[in-house]
Amino acid sequence: MPKLSARIARLILVAVIAASSVSIFIDTNAIAQQKHSSPSNSGTYVLGPTDKVRVKVYGEPDVAGEYEVDSGGYVSIPLAGRIKAAGSTTHQLERSITAALSKGIVRDPRVNVEIALYRPFYILGEVKKSGEYPYRVGMTVLDAIASAGGFTYRANENKVYLRRAGGAGEEIYPLDAPVLIYPGDNIRVPERFF
């Protein structure tokens, strides 16, 4: 009986070591993902073209509304004019709008900016319906592939090429770990070789 207990203890130890190495891989992937602005925290998310923001100015209902960041990176706000939004967080945009409104007829403006709609992501290659898709917070590459109708029969289901929004080149990611995507990312599913 003691030999059986020692064997069970060794199996448990091997299982614990295997499980901890998997969690280390996932944690390393999560740290690498945090280099990019995370949409889950709009205070650190950097706005870009085609993002939509919801602006509220307390006491000024004519200014309130949803505004899209144009291709030049600006939003046009009544009474404030054209304001640079691309490259700013929502908090930075709040300060820019406040400064612009303070120069005009609004006295002591209190501005709130939140993200109404993130810019889309793009997927192409060996998926059934390549194209532009709306982004949702917390999306992974596999979620994006599912949005595009899944893999084609020629798809390499082991890896994916990912170009981050504003990035210079593609990076290869394995599909056996959850890889988060961000607004504006380009995903390419390669063809498998027999």
Give the mean model confidence (pLDDT) for residues 148-175.
93
- Are 147 and 123 a contacting pair, CB within 8 Å? yes
Percent of the chain scored above 70 by pLDDT? 77
> Do residues 68 and 51 make contact, with C-beta atoms less than 8 angstroms apart?
yes
The larger pLDDT score, comparing residue 177 to residue 170, is at: 170
Q: What is the pLDDT of residue 28?
A: 39
Please tell me the predicted confidence (pLDDT) of residue 25: 40
Structural domains for the chain: 51-117 (3.30.1950.10), 120-189 (3.10.560.10)
Rounded Cα gap, residues 37 and 102, in angstroms: 30
DSSP for 116-149, written as a single string: EEPPPEEEEESBSS-EEE---TT-BHHHHHHHTT
Which pLDDT value is given to residue 7?
59
Calpha distance 63→40 (Å, rounded): 26
- pLDDT for res 96: 95
pLDDT at 20 over 50: no
17-25 mean pLDDT:
44
Q: Look at residue 146 in the predicted model and tell me its pLDDT.
A: 96
Query: CA–CA separation, 87 vs 59, rounded Å?
Result: 28
Q: Cβ-count burial of 33 within 10 angstroms (0-12 exposed, 13-18 middle, 19+ buried)?
A: middle
What Å distances lie between residue 144 and 149, 153, 177, 194, CA to CA?
Answer: 9, 17, 14, 25
With cut-offs at 50, 70 and 90, classify the pLDDT of residue 4: low
What is the C-alpha end-to-end distance of the chain, expressed in Å? Answer: 50
Question: What is the number of alpha carbons within 13 Å of residue 192 lying toward its C-beta?
Answer: 11
Quick one: average pLDDT of 166-188? 92
Average pLDDT over the chain, rounded to whole?
83
pLDDT category of residue 9 using cuts at 50, 70 and 90: low
pTM score over 0.85:
no
Mean pLDDT in residue range 62-66: 91
Structure tokens at 111: 């501005």
- Pairing, β 131-133 against β 111-117: unpaired
62 vs 35 pLDDT, higher one: 62
